[in-house]
């Protein structure tokens, strides 16, 4: 019996040596110590032995049993310290996706616009969103009784005391700029011709909010003042810009219009064959014109020597055309489904 137990011990030792998991160890424990296991079976077989051999055999089996229990426990301990408990890593599982942000459509379009104007040699300009009546209206030759100055149309600020000092010339009430055109004035005050700037930025108007009206939106302003700019430069520049934005097949028409700060003034309409409804719809794209001599002289630029052209257009409006966005409100509602569909990663 002693010999047999030695063989069993060698077997068990070998089995424990290759048991790498808790489950494998448990299987071994059951095989030896479980109710139907090797050791209980050996103990049961004692009764078949002649009485004089039983005691010795019983001792050998019990010694083996005690050793086996200790050996299994020891192995369990070494497994546990090699693989501490806790979430185990399964490298075969697919990775968890990290949610990826996307560029807002307005930002994306702004970047495109910035890229195009930079290529044409325009410098990026900027101005405050809190403006004075002077920059937003007077310096732009807007008559005192112009409807846009109405409190129904423009956000005037009631308590200017709370606001950071806005550099102002001419003064007047403080307001949220209703257009990016005041940047023209600020740019001309800051530098002398030749001037070639563009200025994307947010504007505010007191409108009823609906699918095509918003109280806050983005415009891009443009201004060129040089020694001999003409309507031809205006036309060539804007046809190029909108051709890039809307596609080379787009047709344009310049429709006479009125803006206080340009003379003559136009609105540019675009027609995108095969794209817009029945390909026959002229879409309003941009206001523009030759800078009014009064605007130039107002900032100390001699209108007899210099001439200029200016333009302004809405970014959301352009997106509604280019990407067929049906409702302006989608740009500010933060509906992730819209933002994902319209945007591509940077």
Q: How far is the CB of 338 from ligand DAH (least distance, A)?
A: 26
Q: How far is the CB of 192 from ligand DAH (least distance, A)?
A: 19
Q: Can residue 311 be called a binding residue for ligand DAH (CB under 6 A)?
A: yes
Range in contact with ligand DAH (rule: CB under 6 A) among 110-118, 187-195, 239-247, 283-291: 283-291
Q: How far is the CB of 336 from ligand DAH (least distance, A)?
A: 31
Q: Can residue 221 be called a binding residue for ligand DAH (CB under 6 A)?
A: yes
Residue 50: CB atoms within 10 A of its CB come to 7
Q: Enumerate residues 160-199 that contact ligand DAH by CB under 6 A.
A: 179, 181
Range in contact with ligand DAH (rule: CB under 6 A) among 46-54, 109-117, 119-127, 287-295: 287-295
Size of the site for ligand DAH (CB under 6 A): 11
Q: How far is the CB of 96 from ligand DAH (least distance, A)?
A: 47
- 3-state SS assignment for residue 144: coil
Q: Is the preceding omega at residue 264 within 30 degrees of 0, hence cis?
A: yes
C-beta of 12 vs 295, nearer to ligand DAH: 295
C-beta of 217 vs 331, nearer to ligand DAH: 217
Range in contact with ligand DAH (rule: CB under 6 A) among 12-20, 51-59, 281-289, 322-330: 281-289
From residue 241, how far is each of 57, 183, 244 by CA, in Å? 102, 20, 5
Q: What angle do CA 211, 214, 217 make, to 5 degrees?
A: 120
In whole angstroms, what is the distance from residue 203 CA to residue 220 CA? 10
**Binding residue for ligand DAH, selected from 310, 319, 328, 330, defined by CB under 6 A:** 310
Answer left, alpha or beta for residue 271, where phi above 0 means left and psi between -120 and 50 means alpha.
beta
Q: Which residues of 83-111 are buried (b: 16+ CB within 10 A; e: fewer)?
A: eeeeeeeeeeeeeeeeeeebbebbebbbe
Q: Can residue 289 be called a binding residue for ligand DAH (CB under 6 A)?
A: yes
Listed in order, strand segments (DSSP E) in the chain are 123-124, 130-132, 174-176, 195-204, 216-226, 251-259, 262-271, 283-291, 307-314
Q: How far is the CB of 311 from ligand DAH (least distance, A)?
A: 5
In whole angstroms, what is the distance from residue 250 CA to residue 119 CA? 20
Phi, psi torsion values for 109, nearest 5 degrees: -65, -40
C-beta of 218 vs 331, nearer to ligand DAH: 218
Residue 168 neighbours by CB under 8 Å, 6+ apart: 132, 134, 135
C-beta of 12 vs 310, nearer to ligand DAH: 310
Range in contact with ligand DAH (rule: CB under 6 A) among 9-17, 18-26, 310-318, 329-337: 310-318
Please report, as ranges, the residues that interact with ligand DAH according to CB under 6 A.
179, 181, 221, 259, 262, 287-289, 310-312
């Amino acid at each position: 019996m002693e010999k047999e137990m030695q063989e069993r011990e060698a077997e068990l030792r070998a089995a424990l040596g290759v048991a790498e998991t808790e489950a494998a160890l448990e299987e071994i424990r059951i095989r030896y110590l479980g109710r139907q296991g090797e050791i209980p079976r050996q103990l049961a077989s004692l009764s078949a032995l002649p009485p004089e051999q039983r005691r010795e055999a019983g001792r050998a089996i019990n010694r083996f049993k005690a050793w086996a229990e200790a050996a299994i426990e020891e192995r369990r301990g070494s497994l546990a310290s090699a693989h501490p408990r806790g979430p185990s890593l399964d490298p075969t599982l697919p990775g968890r996706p990290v949610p990826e942000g996307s560029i807002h459509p307005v930002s994306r379009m702004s970047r495109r616009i910035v890229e195009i104007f930079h290529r044409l040699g325009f410098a990026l300009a900027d101005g405050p969103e809190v403006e004075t009546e002077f920059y937003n209206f007077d310096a732009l030759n807007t008559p005192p009784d112009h409807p846009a100055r109405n409190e129904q149309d423009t956000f005037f600020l009631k308590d200017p005391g709370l606001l950071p000092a806005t550099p102002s010339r001419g003064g007047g009430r403080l307001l949220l700029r209703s257009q990016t055109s005041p940047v023209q004035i600020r740019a001309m005050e800051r530098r002398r011709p030749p001037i070639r700037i563009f200025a994307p930025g947010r504007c505010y108007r007191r409108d009823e909010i609906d699918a095509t009206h918003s109280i806050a939106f983005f415009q891009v302003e443009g201004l060129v003042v040089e020694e001999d700019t003409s309507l031809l430069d205006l036309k060539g520049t804007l046809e190029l810009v909108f051709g890039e934005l809307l596609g080379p097949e787009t047709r344009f028409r310049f429709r006479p219009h009125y803006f206080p700060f340009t003379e003559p003034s136009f609105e540019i309409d675009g027609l995108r064959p095969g794209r817009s409804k029945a390909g026959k719809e002229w879409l309003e794209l941009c206001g523009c014109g030759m800078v009014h001599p009064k605007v130039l002289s107002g900032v100390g630029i001699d209108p007899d020597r210099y001439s200029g052209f200016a333009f302004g257009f809405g970014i959301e409006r352009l997106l509604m055309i280019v990407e067929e966005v049906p409702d302006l409100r989608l740009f500010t509602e933060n509906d992730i489904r819209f933002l994902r569909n319209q945007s591509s990663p940077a």
